[in-house]
A and B are shown apart, each in its own frame.
Chain A
Amino acid sequence: MTAGKVLIIDDEKLLVKSTCMALTHYGYETKGAMNGEEGLKAVLEFAPDVILLDIMMPGMDGWQVLEKLQQNADTKRIPVVVFTAREYSNGKAMAVEKGAVDFVAKPFEPRELVATLEKIIARDKE
């Protein structure tokens, strides 16, 4: 029994790899995707409980991925957490407006990320 299935979509290879490894230590099942297209494919195959999505990516950016996810009834209900650049900013308001449930500012610590994930998964189960 895992704590949950998490898909990480980010073009930074080391970030994806290290985040997967850290979340694994906290008991999560993880999968990484290096760009938008790969991420959308992985959503269907992996069926994650939560998607961690970077905004600034070459090609299809995070907002476009989010839009695609919103268009599909199956993927629409999967909660998406976006990575934003700013600690202080209106990033959260914008993320929520576009359909994400929360945001995590980079740089982040695995405990912060885990706290956010736990909150979302617990809410999803209710």
Chain B
Amino acid sequence: MRIPCPFCGSRDSGEFVYRGDAAPVRPAGDEAEAMFAYLYLRDNPMGAIEEHWYHAQGCRQWLVVTRDTLTHAVAGAFSVGGDAA
């Protein structure tokens, strides 16, 4: 897989650290049920997914990468800050 880093260009996925699904958002409060869902429950989609990848061997920026879990095809990436590739 190659990931189109908005800062470094197209780079091998081996340069990145994978975190996982970018959809869960940390809840504002500390309500137990919401924290449980955020920490542990996942949609685990089959097909397109937005994920967090960290460009550890490059610009050291966190990216949101759109990828297909059935084909591994990468559709695009933008930085968590918002710059599109």
Partners in one complex: no
A residues at B contact (CB < 8 Å):
none
Q: Which B residues have a C-beta under 8 Å from some C-beta of A?
A: none
